[in-house]
Each structure stands twice: as structure tokens, then as C-alpha cells.
Copies of this chain bind each other. A is one copy, B any other.
């Protein structure tokens, strides 16, 4: 039996949080000194746990169970957003460490447990760099082009970190499944009281910018009927999103206008330009299609009425279903250990989204207090952290016993 040790799990999580600690959170962006130090510390823990540990030139850390030719792979990422939370990514990494360590302690199992700590899931340079490279969807051109929003290049960051290990490709013959644990980043589990959510799908995402053109005029001297105000049609469009999206929703759909602006942005100048960002997410691609069509039609209708708006769809991420067998394994595991559970769609992307393209993949979420995420206020009760790891260990055990 794989028996995790709660005190050790919590102690390791708290130690990891000291690398780049920022108030109650962590600032450990990919390739920073704190990030590399944390990764070296994780490699050392893998080694202590009896795994063959290595770090590649990106900083992804592998912990390979010795003496087996099949293994369940468990992990996440230890990089964070600037001034982020202490659990996002870190929780899944330490779950991987603890379950792999407990599996070593358990002695012989038909299959082993490998652990992994991916690099740059948060996309400082290239979102999910580690997991995408591992499944072979990043080429040299993408690596050469990758840079942070402030212009720093990924290749310089790698050189500065003095890393040289050869990346491992995913080995679907060995790695029979990928499991990832994560905090929910939302308030549903806290609200339902369940200890665990079993993820059935990663939501698809459509992200777009809507822009409107007009003409700058003096707002005091130009009569209303002689203006070409760029903002007015954008406000009409915003009102459409507020009023009509609830009718287009599947019930589970989420959407957001996160950015809006008018240029030149002076109180007494009629806007010559205006723009906003819109995104919506659902696990059902037909719902995403339906909403995108409605958005296009609304913009066409506003343009027919005289506005000059345009729509640029910048992101179309297809929903990624999790493996049905893994979903059922997680549910059985939660049942075996006696924890309330529910199914959930993940609104956010994770490394699991990419692993799922190659091997059976699944995720669990544990409650996050107040649903806080990407924020130093992010937190989870110790007992919930432990409960999640118990479910993860039981699921690994079921899979590793080939049952």
C-alpha cells in the first residue's frame, strides 16, 4: 500500500514556499535564481526518495523510479506568476514527490511512480514550456523566438541559468498515465463542501479583441450628430455581452471582458479608437462556436448601423477531455478513502492539457480558500492538502497495480 506521510508532505510544501517567498505568497518566475534553486532542491528530494533525478536545460526536473519499465507519472510545475500563491503548481509537484517517495517505501509494485516538475507553465517565456517540449510540440524556432513581455529572451534566460541537461521525451511505453493535483482556483469546492473535484475536461478557450475606429473631435465643439465616436459602438457591444451572453451560455460557460480602453483617452476628446478583450470558455466546442457566431453577427449588425468595428480571434483552444478511465479511477480512489467528490470542468489550462494528447491523463482539484488564485492570498487548509494527496496516492496505487 502507498501510505503518504502528511507531516512530511506539509513540511516539504512549506520549505518549497521559502524559495522566492513574498509576504504570504511566492514570487518564483521561471528561470529566476529562486526558481532554479527550488528546482535543485526538488531534484535533491527526488534523489533522497530513491528516484533517479535529473534536471534538463530548461529546468524541468525528472524523478525516475528505478527498476521498473512501467510507471505512473505524477507532477506539475514549481514556477509561479509574479507575486503568486504558494500552492499553484507547487502542490502538484510535492504530490508527485510524496506519492513517488511513498511508493518507493511501499516496496514492490507492478508499476513504479515517476515524478516530474515542469518548467514555465505560467508562460513567463513560453506557456507550458516543459510539458509541451516533452510531448514534442515545441521546435527550435519557437524556442528562439520566445521572450518575456519585457523583451528578455528565453535563450538568454537559459544561458544565464547555466543549465545543460538533455530533455527527456515522454515515453508512452513506460509512462502509462499522467496525474496532476492542483488547487481549484475557484470557489466551487469550498461552496459544495467536497474534498476533491475530478476533472472531466479542460475547457476550450476563445479569446479575441474587438476594436472600433472613429475620429477624434473636440468633445465641446462638435455636435453629437457630426461625430464618429469609436467608444459608443463598443459600449453597445459591451452591453450585448452583459445582456445576451447569459442566454447563449451552456450554464457552465464563463466569459470575461478583462481589458477595455479608449484612445486618446482624454475627457474632452471624442475617442478616435476603442478596444476590448473578450474571452469565453466551455468544455463543449459547439457552445463556443455558437457564441463566436453571435459575437460576429452582433459586430456585423453594429457595422451595418455605421460603426467601424473589427474582431480578431487571437486564441482558439479546443476543449481537452480527460481520460475516462482515469476519471473513474480518481472517483474510485476518493470513494475508497471516504472523501466527498464531484466532477468539474477546469476553466484554466494546465500541463495535463498537453500530456493528455499522448497518454491517459487526469487531474484532481482540492478546495482553495475563497477561490483565491494567482495571488499571495491563495491558501488551502492543511487537512484538504493532505486529503488530496491521499486520493492521489490511492489512484496511483490502483493504476500501478494494473487494477
Contact = CB atoms under 8 A, between A and B. Distances in A.
Interface of A: 184-188, 191, 203, 205, 207, 216-224, 226, 229, 231-232, 235-236, 238-239, 241-242, 246, 249, 253-262, 265-271, 274, 277, 279, 281, 346-349, 371, 373-375
B262 A258 contact: yes
Contact of A220 (B191, B226, B246, B348): B348
A219 B267 contact: no
B257 A268 contact: no
The A interface, classified by DSSP as helix, strand, loop or mixed, is: mixed
Given A219-B254, A219-B281, 18 more contacts: A185-B221, A186-B221, A191-B226, A205-B220, A207-B268, A217-B371, A219-B255, A219-B279, A222-B347, A224-B254, A224-B255, A229-B256, A231-B238, A231-B260, A238-B238, A257-B262, A260-B262, A268-B279
A30 to B, nearest CB: 18
B374 A218 contact: yes
Given A221-B347, A347-B220, A268 B256 contact: yes
Closest 7 CB pairs of A and B: A220-B347, A219-B256, A186-B221, A239-B239, A235-B238, A267-B277, A185-B221
Nearest to A270: B256
Given A260-B262, A371-B226, A232 B221 contact: no
A269 B203 CA distance: 16
A258 B271 contact: yes
B267 A256 contact: yes
Given A226-B186, A260-B262, A270-B258, A346 B221 contact: yes
Contacts of A207: 267-268
A224 B252 CA distance: 9
Contacts of A249: 224
A179 to B, nearest CB: 19
Nearest to A315: B267
B254 A259 contact: no
Contacts of A257: 231, 235, 262, 271
A219 B279 CA distance: 8
A216 B375 contact: yes
19 contacts: A185-B220, A186-B218, A186-B222, A187-B222, A188-B223, A218-B348, A219-B255, A219-B279, A221-B371, A222-B254, A224-B255, A232-B242, A235-B241, A235-B242, A236-B242, A239-B239, A257-B271, A259-B266, A260-B261
